[in-house]
Structure formats: C-alpha cells, structure tokens
C-alpha cells in the first residue's frame, strides 16, 4: 500500500499587518447616492474616532486571497483524512448541507422578521426539533444553545429550576439539593457548567472495568443532598454503561435528576435512546453527531432535549405549531429564561436537518453501525502493540494507554506528534483523566477500510520505533513546517496580538 | 470487517446495550431523500421566508451588510471549515494565525489590549462580561443600562440567576434616549461594573467618557457593549473613552443574517485582566529552531484544565465565523471600513430627515447623536403599519418597539445600512406616507 | 534526587516554611516544582490577607495544569514575592531561595510541630511516588 503522507513544499506567509501597504484597496462600494450631511452635523467630533483606524491593514483582493489560501495549506482537515479524535466525532461535512444553508431564503432572513414572513425558517426549526425528539426519546427540545457546553449549562439550569420549584430554595439562594455528581471521567465542561448554577461538584469514581461504580453512586446519593448526576453514555472511555437503567433509578430514588452529555450519541443513533434509559435531560452536539462542520473551533450548536416534566423550564421562545402555522411562543412562566439572543444557531440547524433527511431512518442506523465497527477494528488492530486498559468491547471509540512505550521513555504526547509524520491528525490525548497517558480514538463512520488500515499500520510502526529508535518519536514531528512550540514561554510572556513596533521573529 | 473482529452480524456490535433498551425497529424519521429531492424541499421552505427577499430596514442586533464574494469562497476551503480546533499547533497554523489576526483586529477596533478568539454572540458576551467583572472586582452588584438590547439583558439575567450576582437596572432618559444613572444612584463600592450599550438599543450614542469616570470613581469597571460593530469604523473606540471590557456582536462583519445565528461574540479587555478572560486565546510561540508560530495559550483559565474553577464553561466558540469577520475586515481594510460606516451614517441621516418630514411622523430622540439606527414615532399603531408595508409595499420597514416595550405602540426602530440604495429609502418613505395619509 | 533542606518544615501538600522569630517564609518544594513542570504563572495573596493552615493561598500554573497552593501555617501576610510575576521560572530554578512566595506573621509558632521535618518529608515523597 502507498504510504499515506509525504512532505510537500508549502508557502510561507507573514501576518496580514506585515503585508499591509498604504493605499491598497480590496473592495469597491457603490458611490454614496444620498445628499451628504456635513460630518459635524452627522456626529459631533467628540463621538468620532481620531485614530484613523491606524494599524488596520490595507491590502488588495489578491493579497487577501493569497494570504488565506497560503495559510490554509498549513491545516490538517477532515477532507484530507481521518481525525481519530475521541469524543469529537469528526465525520464528513457534507457539501449538500453547505449548499442548502446558503439558500438566500435562509441566509438573508433577519431574526426579527415577522412570523408570517419567516414560516419556512420556523417550520425547519420545528421539524428538526421533532426529529431530535424522536432520536433521543425525549419529549421536548430547545435549539437555542449555541454549543455543547451551552446546552449543558441550559440542562443544568433546568434541573436547578425544576428542583427549586419542587423542593423550594434554601437560604441565601442556595439550592436545597446542592450537589451535582459528576464521574471522574467527565469532560471539563461538565463541572464548569454545574458551577454556574450554584452546585457543588462531587466526583463519582469508575470501576477498574471502566463503568460507573454503583456502590460509590449509592453512597453519595444516600447523603440526601444530590440534585443530579451528569453522565456520558457511552462513557468517555468508549464503553456503554450497562447499568444505565439502575444508575438512573438510584438517582431518581434519591430525589435527583439525570443529565446526559450527548457528546457520544454517534454510538447510539437509531439503536438506543437516552429517554428509554431513564435520562431526564440531554444536550446534543450538532457539530459532532449531526455532521455540522467544526470550522476550526465552531460554530457549534447544542440543542437541549428533556422529558415532558421538565418542558416548562426550557428557554424561550419555543417554536410551536398551531394549525398549519409555526409560531414563537413566549408564554412559559417557568422558563429559565434565555440563553442566547434570537433562536440559536439557525445555520447549523439547517445543516443538521439536511443530514437527517439525507440519511433517512435506515441511513442513520447504518452510520452508527459503521462508527462502532470501525472503532472495534482499530481496538482489535492495536491491542497487541498498545496497552488497552478495559476488556469490554468499545462502542464508537476506544482508549489505550502509553504504559508499554513509557518504559522506553516514549509518552502519549510523543506518539501523537509522530502520528503527524504518518499523515494523520493525532488522537485525543490525556483525556479522560482517569486513564494514565490516555489515547482516545474515534474513527467515525466516515472512514473506509483502507484509511483504517493505514492508521493501524502507522500506530504499529510507531510502537516499533518506540522500542528501536525512540528519538524518532520523542523528537516528532519532523515533517511539519514548524516543530513543537515552546508553550511555557508563550504562557509566561503572552503576546496575544500584533503591534506595529514588533518584528517578524519572536524572542 | 465484522468477521475480522469476531462478529457475525451488525446487531452484535450492540451486545453491551441491554435488550430492553435496544431498538429493534427504525426510528420514526423520514426515509432518505436524494440530493435533488432534498434541495427542492429546502428551496420550498426557504421560499416561504418572504422577508429574505425584499428591502430590509430591520436592525436591533442583526444587520444587513454587503459580504465581499471572497469571504464565502475562502471560508469554504476544506482546510478552514472542516478543520478541528487547533489543539495540535504543528498542523493547525492556518487556523491559529487567522485567529491571531482576528484578535488583533478586535483590539484595534475596540481600542483594547487583548481580545479572545470569539464567544457565541453579543448577548452571551455581555453575560460573560458580568461574570468576569465579579471575578476581577470580587463585588456582586452590576448596574445595567435601561437601553441595553432587551434580549441581551434577558440572557444576562438567565446566566446570573444562581451565580450570586445581582443585576440592577438603571433608568432610561425618555427625552434624550440615553441611559440615566442618576435616577437610581446605585453606584457604590459594592458595584462590580456598569454595563452600557453604545449605540444603544434605541440607536443613541452614549457618553462613555462620563460613564467611565463614574464607574472608576467607585472602583467599578465599565463594560461597553456594541451590537452594530460597523459603528466602530466611525465612532470613538470604547477603549479610548475608558472602557475596561468591550463586548460586541460581530455579525456585521460579513456574516449572513441567517435567522439569528451563527453569529459572533467579540470580547476584549485591558492587559491587566487578561488572565480573567473567558474563551480561547492564541499567542505567539517559537519552536526549537526559533521559527515563529502560533498556539492556544493561557489554557489554564479554561474548562478542560480548571474544570469548575474555569473562567467560563465555553469550549466550541464561533471559529469559522471569526474567520469570516477577519477576511471581511482585511478585504475592506482601513478605508473600506470607514467608507461603509460613513455610508451607513449618511443614509440613515437621509432616511431620518425624510421620514421626519412625513406628516404625523416624528423622531423622539432627534437631538441625540446616533449612527445608523433611530426611533420613529408614527401617527398610527406600528405593528399594523409595518404589516401593511410588508404586504402592500413589499418592504420590511423596521422593528415595532412594542415587541419588547408593549406601551410603545407607535414606535418603530429603523436601521439603514450601505445595502439600502436611495431608491429603497425613498420607497420606504413613500410607503409610510401613503399608508398614513 | 530532590533537594530537601534540613532547616525547613514541610507540609503534605508540598509547601515548605522557614521560621525566623515570628515570621514564616513559605514556598513550594523542589519535588513539587519538578512534578508541575515549567511554571508559567503564580497567583499570590495580597498583603494583609489572613491565612489558615491548610487553606488555599494562591495558585501555581504550568502550561497544562493549575494547582492550588495551601498554606502550611496560619497568619497574616506581610509580604508577597512580586518578582515571581515577571519571572515565574524562578520556582523551577530556586524554589527555596529566590522563589519564596510569601511571608507571614505567624499566628501560632507551635503549628510547625504538626509539619514534617526534612527526613520525614523525604520518606513521604518516596512513598507517594511509588
């Protein structure tokens, strides 16, 4: 098989500010076509800026095109190849989704247009809500949160509101039940979101088999102050929580609610539903499971889905249907309020609906199958070279440790960097925290057999190198235009913007 | 491949899921559509959004601006839009350098020292600014202008509901259309910050200098919020007026209206507060050979390290939208941004003058400086007037203020940008005149 | 082999205190700085702050981690080492000297008896590293 990647010449490119030339123009606007008002009448001098926008660059259109084209070539991306990033679900970003999001009737629609002038948009949001409700098995949906963490925050606020209504609020606005249980394997956004709602975080430990420890859970719930449990299923080590029904029962019996982080839905869609497991509220990541693009860090979308019981607390406005009309409904007196202006990241909702309708019900089920199968193949292919801490069959992602390689002084970070030389983006590293030197691998369904084989072979080659020529691994990457960066120096004396007096080289 | 992992049928992949949860049948979602069918369906949905196909004078937090063609074409490059968050800097330098440029541009426009890599939007940026003000000052009261966008205020209230922070609303001066802080006298040494929007929700420019002095006198921060960021091309930068934190909605920088999202939160502050910033930050770094690169830095503020003690729970932000804004700002550049801002102000002034000239119409805040939005008082109920303007004249004339302020039945917020040719403005004026004669 | 000076008292959280009269000088140990990696930032208390033994007095940050700092003794902060703002690497290079973090007026000189001496601390670090 041909090797996956090879070094290749690429362009250098300075910062745009370093390319700026006075007088260059990249645009042409139509001339002003109204009678001019004298500037001082338009806006008195004391309200106008006097710096003449000093420092903002002046470049031509070609400058801009070359600038961004050149720097774009320095990025790995999904269209180039697999991202084995556990927990991220880097699947194919369909071009059809991009096309429909750009239809003028969507792209040019102002959010404050009247309801009768926005029926198509409202219908689209409503239909997406219906599908997400069906997929999760939860009755009610809000598309307002702009990202997973935002959806989490929303879910935790809903739990808080529900419990305050049911149990009353404690002194000084303290929640009566002030503890939120979070597994030791949880994503960092979970405790951060809990904190915002005034909860104290207590950790639930995992068993050596990588499952939530039921005894630990019972013990914590026995204290009587538990508001809820935030968990991920499959969990962050890629295993399905077999006792999920019992987990939900324990928390419910103790008077709490169960929140599920939906980041790993790619292992469940069409095969199992959080609502059927006893989960009360979940957030979804449209930019993971539903293929909307990662964009180098967003935009995302984090819909929040919940049971009928929790529905009154969802953010407003809700998108509802009455007769054949779609409406914005603000009449929810128990709502937690608004988590964002307008209705959420509509553009991502368009893409997600397109994804759902392009796949169809059987396509969604098949995608999940392929995602899990691909992860199993990788688990199988790497088990002889890498330490796999859990025996249970993984779902859509599998975790390994660097235990074996560490004996020779080669660590997870080194393996990740060396993978770059083999033409892959590294896997998720050092997460979850409960696994020493974790390497969490999620291929998704968007990878064919050939790419998976390439990946397995690359990882096996690196395992050999770790024994025979460890410096090759610890010094990696060798083929990129820059090597490992001195992040400590960057954090000690942070330079977070360009200034005119700075030179191109950095100290 | 199934057999290579010792399985015989796809169902076996899901053996670890208890049988009573496992789905046997297909979900009740529609069957797959082919590309042509899907496109046709979405086109028919889009066609029902009549407001997207006619002249628009709506502002109030979302603005129609011209998007240079190269913006969409460049962000559509696979290398940008299908790329992941730049945690592995060696293979993400494109994304990282673009963010560094974005951070720089935000600082330049707002007059501040440091800006982050983006927040979700203007409204959540205000909420996060409230949380940051509490962290910095260790005080729990925040005074909010009565002229802040109502949806932004609602978001801030939702965020702080259980964070132990109290939001106090300052008054609104009905005569001038600007914030009135004297009415409440709530500024004291328990105040963490004053939050003011400028130009405010009613289009009026606020006196930021005086507000900064009043805040600093009691040791509080001044947080300035900007919803129409194009205004920064003409208006005095909030940093120069003494702002400590500037938050803004960046959608005006070449980002489509898209029925409310995805948008772009800008967040900037002074050097000394950099470590209290929420969100991602990109900084300069060097490799062993001394080559300059860019890297996510000061990550210990963030959720994946600090967990419950993080400055924010934000993870995914608005990366690609920040890239759109960056390309927009670099394409228009210094002179283009000034020209767009000037055209917006000039056209708005023309529209305001002509509307004020219609019998029965007045501008309640005519004497107060503004940028491109202004309040019009009609002789009839605004929502009915606007409805008829849509159906009979095919123009979206503006926002009926009764949507947020039920007592303001006859008031309309009108926004004019460089995308409204004179003919459209004249048609708006003629329509308003005809419907009220 | 980590450096463990004889004349200091050590806490389980890897802080040291040097007692001179009623003034205690506090910092983190060589073992601690080695575990943390390159230090990029130190957050110190303010002069006048009142600290309790076992209470958090600040934070130390490396690139990938942030850790709370716990005061080994109780007292009122009389000095904080501002040079660490510009030069946090000192914590890695000279944890017992130039990278002292704060000085406080001891509330109760007897508290140091609850801490470990150099030999005890050495045993302790050996045990936890296994």
In a domain, B21, yes or no: no
A491 and C37: CB-CB below 8 Å? no
Domain identity same for A312 and A388 = no
Indicate which CATH number applies to the domain containing A399.
Answer: 3.90.1150.10
Model pLDDT for residues A449-472, shown as the tens digit of each residue: 999 999 999 999 999 999 999 999
Residue-level pLDDT at C130: 62
Domain identity same for B254 and B397 = no
Model pLDDT for residues B175-230, shown as the tens digit of each residue: 999 998 776 567 899 999 999 999 999 999 999 999 999 999 999 999 999 999 99
Residue-level pLDDT at B184: 58
C64 and B275: CB-CB below 8 Å? no
> 3-state DSSP call for residue B392?
helix
Please, which pLDDT band fits residue A57 given cuts at 50, 70 and 90? very high
Chain A residue with minimum CA distance to B282 = A496
> 3-state DSSP call for residue B239?
helix
**Do the beta carbons of residue A401 and residue A206 sit within 8 Å?**
no
Domain identity same for B318 and B345 = no
Contact residues, chain C, for A430 at CB < 8 Å: 64
Domain identity same for A336 and A387 = no
Quote the tokens at residue B155: 């978001």
Domain identity same for A316 and A412 = no
- What distance in Å separates the CA atoms of residue B75 and residue A61, rounded to the nearest whole number? 15
Domain identity same for B320 and B352 = no
Residue A58: HSE in the Cβ half-sphere, 13 Å Cα cutoff: 13
- What distance in Å separates the CA atoms of residue A402 and residue A440, rounded to the nearest whole number? 11
Residue B306 has pLDDT above 80, yes or no: no
Domain identity same for A250 and A137 = yes
Residue-level pLDDT at A504: 46
> In this complex, is the C-beta atom of A354 within 8 Å of any C-beta atom belonging to chain B?
yes
> In this complex, is the C-beta atom of A492 within 8 Å of any C-beta atom belonging to chain C?
yes
Residue B230: HSE in the Cβ half-sphere, 13 Å Cα cutoff: 35
Residue-level pLDDT at A2: 73
- What distance in Å separates the CA atoms of residue A465 and residue A471, rounded to the nearest whole number? 8
Interface test with C, best of A487, A492, A493 (most C CBs within 10 A): A492
> In the complex, which subunits touch A with 3 or more CB pairs below 8 angstroms?
B, C
Residue-level pLDDT at A188: 76
Compute the Cα dihedral for B109, B110, B116, B118 and give only its sign.
negative
Q: Name the residue facing A490 among B260, B283, B396 (closest C-beta).
A: B283
Interface of C with A (CB under 8 A): 37-41, 61-64, 88-89
Domain identity same for B343 and B367 = yes
In a domain, B32, yes or no: no
What is the average pLDDT score of chain A?
A: 95
- What distance in Å separates the CA atoms of residue A193 and residue A174, rounded to the nearest whole number? 16
Indicate which CATH number applies to the domain containing B290.
Answer: 3.40.640.10
In a domain, A42, yes or no: no
The percentage of residues in chain C with a pLDDT greater than 90, rounded to a whole number, is 73
In a domain, A48, yes or no: no
Domain identity same for B178 and B310 = yes
Range B301-322 average pLDDT: 80
Domain identity same for B357 and B271 = no
* Across A137-141, B65-69, B105-109, C34-38, least confident range: C34-38
In a domain, A37, yes or no: no
In angstroms, what CA-CA distances link A475 with A84, A417, A419, A478?
21, 8, 12, 7
Range B123-143 average pLDDT: 96
Residue-level pLDDT at A1: 60
Domain identity same for A313 and A405 = no
pTM, two decimal places: 0.95
Where does a domain end: B280, B308, B327? B327
In a domain, A234, yes or no: yes
Please, which pLDDT band fits residue B329 given cuts at 50, 70 and 90? very high
What's phi and psi for B415, nearest 5 deg?
Answer: -125, 135
Domain identity same for A297 and A406 = no
The percentage of residues in chain A with a pLDDT greater than 70, rounded to a whole number, is 99
Domain identity same for B307 and B341 = no
Residue A67 has pLDDT above 60, yes or no: yes
Domain identity same for A378 and A349 = no
Domain identity same for B399 and B372 = yes
Where does a domain end: A357, A387, A418? A357
In a domain, A497, yes or no: no
Residue A505 has pLDDT above 80, yes or no: no
Domain identity same for B189 and B260 = yes
Residue B32 has pLDDT above 70, yes or no: yes
Domain identity same for A401 and A337 = no
In a domain, A252, yes or no: yes
Where does a domain end: B306, B327, B348? B327
In a domain, B10, yes or no: no
Residue-level pLDDT at A502: 54
Q: Kindly report the three-state secondary structure assignment for every residue of A155-203.
A: HHHHHHHHHHHHHCECHHHCECCCEEEEECCCCCHHHHHHHHCCCEEEE
In the stretch 439-468 of chain A, residues with CB closer than 8 A to chain B read: 449
Look up the domain containing A412 and give its range.
369-489
Look up the domain containing B189 and give its range.
69-327
In a domain, B105, yes or no: yes
C66 and B306: CB-CB below 8 Å? yes
Indicate which CATH number applies to the domain containing A246.
Answer: 3.40.640.10
Contact residues, chain A, for B306 at CB < 8 Å: 188, 192
Residue-level pLDDT at C1: 57
Quote the tokens at residue A364: 């969604």
Model pLDDT for residues A329-381, shown as the tens digit of each residue: 999 999 999 999 999 999 999 999 999 999 999 999 999 999 999 999 999 99
**Do the beta carbons of residue A392 and residue A377 sit within 8 Å?**
no
- What distance in Å separates the CA atoms of residue A24 and residue A20, rounded to the nearest whole number? 8
> 3-state DSSP call for residue B226?
strand
Residue C50 has pLDDT above 60, yes or no: yes
Where does a domain end: B327, B342, B360? B327
| ipTM value for the complex | 0.97
In a domain, B2, yes or no: no
Residue B105 has pLDDT above 90, yes or no: yes
- Selected residue with higher pLDDT from C126 and B394: B394
- What distance in Å separates the CA atoms of residue B204 and residue A357, rounded to the nearest whole number? 46
State the total domains in chain A: 2
Domain identity same for A308 and A445 = no
Chain A residue with minimum CA distance to C88 = A492
In a domain, A162, yes or no: yes
Domain identity same for A263 and A319 = yes
Indicate which CATH number applies to the domain containing B56.
Answer: 3.90.1150.10
Domain identity same for B209 and B169 = yes
- What distance in Å separates the CA atoms of residue B404 and residue A381, rounded to the nearest whole number? 60
- Selected residue with higher pLDDT from C108 and B227: B227
Contact residues, chain B, for A157 at CB < 8 Å: 158, 161-162
Greatest Cα pair distance in chain C:
40
State the total domains in chain B: 2
In a domain, A225, yes or no: yes
Radius of gyration of chain B (CA): 24
In a domain, B100, yes or no: yes
Please, which pLDDT band fits residue A72 given cuts at 50, 70 and 90? very high
> In this complex, is the C-beta atom of A91 within 8 Å of any C-beta atom belonging to chain B?
no
Domain identity same for A269 and A147 = yes
Parallel, antiparallel or unpaired: strands A179-183 and A200-204: parallel
* Across A116-120, A166-170, B46-50, C15-19, least confident range: A166-170
B33 and A346: CB-CB below 8 Å? no
Residue-level pLDDT at B171: 87
Q: Name the residue facing A146 among B35, B120, B320 (closest C-beta).
A: B120
Model pLDDT for residues A388-444, shown as the tens digit of each residue: 999 999 999 999 999 999 999 999 999 999 999 999 999 999 999 889 899 999 999
Domain identity same for A282 and A422 = no
Domain identity same for B351 and B426 = yes
Domain identity same for B109 and B163 = yes
Range C93-106 average pLDDT: 95
Contact residues, chain C, for B300 at CB < 8 Å: 40-41, 61-66
Query: Which residue has tokens 């759109």?
Result: B324
- H or E element that contains B143: strand B141-144
Domains of chain C, CATH where assigned:
9-111 (2.40.50.100)
Residue-level pLDDT at C12: 92
In a domain, B402, yes or no: yes
């Amino acid at each position: 098989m041909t090797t996956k990647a090879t070094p290749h010449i690429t362009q250098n490119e300075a910062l745009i500010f370093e390319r700026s030339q006075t007088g260059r123009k990249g645009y042409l606007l139509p001339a002003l076509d109204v009678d001019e008002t004298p500037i001082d009448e338009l806006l008195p001098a004391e309200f106008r800026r006097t710096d003449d926008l000093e420092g903002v660059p002046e470049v031509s259109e070609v400058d801009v095109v070359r600038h961004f084209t050149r720097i774009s070539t320095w990025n790995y991306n999904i269209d180039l190849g697999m991202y084995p990033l556990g927990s991220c679900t880097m699947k194919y970003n369909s071009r059809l989704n991009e096309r429909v999001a750009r239809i003028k009737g969507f792209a040019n629609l102002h959010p404050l247009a009247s309801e009768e002038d926005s029926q198509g948009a409202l219908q689209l949001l409503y239909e997406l809500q219906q599908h997400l409700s069906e997929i999760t098995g939860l009755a009610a949906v809000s598309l307002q949160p702009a990202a997973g963490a935002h959806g989490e925050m929303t879910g935790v606020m809903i739990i808080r509101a529900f419990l305050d209504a049911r149990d009353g609020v404690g002194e000084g606005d303290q929640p009566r039940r002030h503890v939120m249980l979070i597994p030791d394997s949880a994503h960092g956004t979970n405790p951060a979101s809990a904190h915002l709602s005034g909860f104290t975080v207590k950790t639930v430990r995992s068993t050596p088999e990588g499952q939530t420890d039921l005894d630990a859970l019972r013990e914590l719930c026995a204290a009587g102050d538990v508001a809820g449990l935030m968990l991920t299923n499959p969990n962050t080590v890629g295993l399905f929580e077999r006792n999920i029904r019992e987990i939900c029962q324990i928390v419910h019996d103790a008077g709490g609610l169960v929140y599920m982080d939906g980041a790993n839905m790619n292992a469940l869609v069409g095969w199992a539903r959080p609502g059927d497991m006893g989960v009360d509220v979940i957030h979804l990541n449209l930019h993971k499971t539903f293929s909307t693009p990662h964009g180098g860090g967003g935009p995302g979308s984090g819909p929040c889905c919940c049971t009928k019981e929790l529905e009154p607390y969802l953010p407003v406005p809700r998108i509802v249907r009455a007769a054949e009309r779609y409406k914005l409904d603000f009449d929810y007196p128990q709502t937690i309020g608004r988590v964002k202006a307008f209705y959420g990241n509509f553009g991502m909702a368009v893409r997600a609906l397109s994804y759902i309708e392009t796949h169809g019900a059987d396509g969604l089920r098949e995608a999940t199958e392929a995602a899990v199968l691909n992860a199993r193949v990788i688990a199988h292919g790497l088990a002889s070279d890498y330490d796999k801490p859990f025996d249970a069959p993984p779902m859509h992602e599998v975790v390994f440790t660097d235990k074996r390689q560490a004996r020779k002084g080669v660590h997870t970070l080194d393996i990740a960097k060396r993978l770059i030389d083999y033409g892959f983006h590294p896997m998720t590293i050092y997460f979850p925290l409960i696994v020493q030197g974790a390497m969490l691998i999620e291929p998704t369904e968007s990878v064919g057999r050939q790419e998976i084989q390439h990946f397995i072979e690359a990882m096996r080659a690196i395992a050999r190198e770790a024994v025979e020529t460890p410096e090759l691994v610890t010094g990696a990457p060798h083929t990129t235009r820059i090597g490992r960066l001195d992040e400590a120096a960057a954090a000690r004396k942070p330079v977070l913007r360009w200034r005119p007096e700075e030179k191109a080289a950095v100290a | 491949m199934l057999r290579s992992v010792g399985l015989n049928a796809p169902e076996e992949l899901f053996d670890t899921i208890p049988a009573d949860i496992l789905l046997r049948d297909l979900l009740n979602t529609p069957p797959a559509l082919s590309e042509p069918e899907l496109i046709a369906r979405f086109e028919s949905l889009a066609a029902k959004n009549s407001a997207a196909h006619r002249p628009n004078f709506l502002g109030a937090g979302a603005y129609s601006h011209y998007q240079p063609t190269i913006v969409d074409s460049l962000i559509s490059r696979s290398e940008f839009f299908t790329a992941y968050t730049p945690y592995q800097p060696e293979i993400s330098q494109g994304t990282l350098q673009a963010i560094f440029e974005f951070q720089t541009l935000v600082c330049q426009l707002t007059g501040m020292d440091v800006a982050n890599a983006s927040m979700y939007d203007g409204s959540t940026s205000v909420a996060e600014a409230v949380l940051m003000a509490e962290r910095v000052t260790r005080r729990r009261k925040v005074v909010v202008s009565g002229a802040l966008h109502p949806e932004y205020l609602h978001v801030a209230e939702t965020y702080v509901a259980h964070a132990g922070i109290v939001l106090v609303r300052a008054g609104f001066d009905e005569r001038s259309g600007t914030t009135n802080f004297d009415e409440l006298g709530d500024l004291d040494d328990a105040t963490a910050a004053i939050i003011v929007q400028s130009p405010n929700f009613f289009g009026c420019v606020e006196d930021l200098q005086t507000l900064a002095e009043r805040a600093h006198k009691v040791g509080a921060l001044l947080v300035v919020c900007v919803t129409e960021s194009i205004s920064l091309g003409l208006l005095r930068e909030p940093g120069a007026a003494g702002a400590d934190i500037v938050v803004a909605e960046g959608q005006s920088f070449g980002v489509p209206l898209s029925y409310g999202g995805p948008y772009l939160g800008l967040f900037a502050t002074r050097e000394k507060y950099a470590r209290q910033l929420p969100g991602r930050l990109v900084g300069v770094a060097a490799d062993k050979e001394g080559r300059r690169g860019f890297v996510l830095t000061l990550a210990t503020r963030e959720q994946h390290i600090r967990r419950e003690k993080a400055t924010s729970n934000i993870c995914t932000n608005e990366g690609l939208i920040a890239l759109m804004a960056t390309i927009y700002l670099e394409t228009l550049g210094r002179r283009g941004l000034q020209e767009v801002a000037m055209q917006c102000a000039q056209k708005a002034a023309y529209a305001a003058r002509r509307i004020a000239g219609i019998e029965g119409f007045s501008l309640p805040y005519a004497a107060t400086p503004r940028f491109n939005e202004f309040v019009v008082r009609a002789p009839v109920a605004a929502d009915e007037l606007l409805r008829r303007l849509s159906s009979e004249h095919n123009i979206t004339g503006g926002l009926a203020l009764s949507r947020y302020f039920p007592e303001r039945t006859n008031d309309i917020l009108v926004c004019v940008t460089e995308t409204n040719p004179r003919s459209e403005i004249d048609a708006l004026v003629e329509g308003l005149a005809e419907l009220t004669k | 082999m980590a450096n463990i000076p004889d004349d200091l008292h050590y806490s389980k959280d890897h802080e040291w205190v040097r007692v001179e009269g009623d003034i205690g000088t506090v910092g983190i140990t060589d073992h601690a700085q080695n575990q943390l990696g390159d230090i990029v930032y130190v957050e110190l208390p303010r002069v006048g702050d009142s600290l309790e033994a076992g209470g958090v007095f600040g934070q130390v940050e490396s690139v990938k981690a942030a850790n709370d700092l716990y005061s080994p003794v109780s007292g009122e902060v009389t000095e904080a080492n501002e040079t660490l703002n510009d030069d946090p690497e000192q914590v890695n290079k000279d944890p017992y000297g130039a990278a002292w973090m704060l000085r406080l007026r001891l509330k109760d000189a007897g508290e140091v008896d609850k801490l470990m001496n150099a030999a005890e601390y050495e045993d302790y670090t050996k045990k936890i590293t296994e």
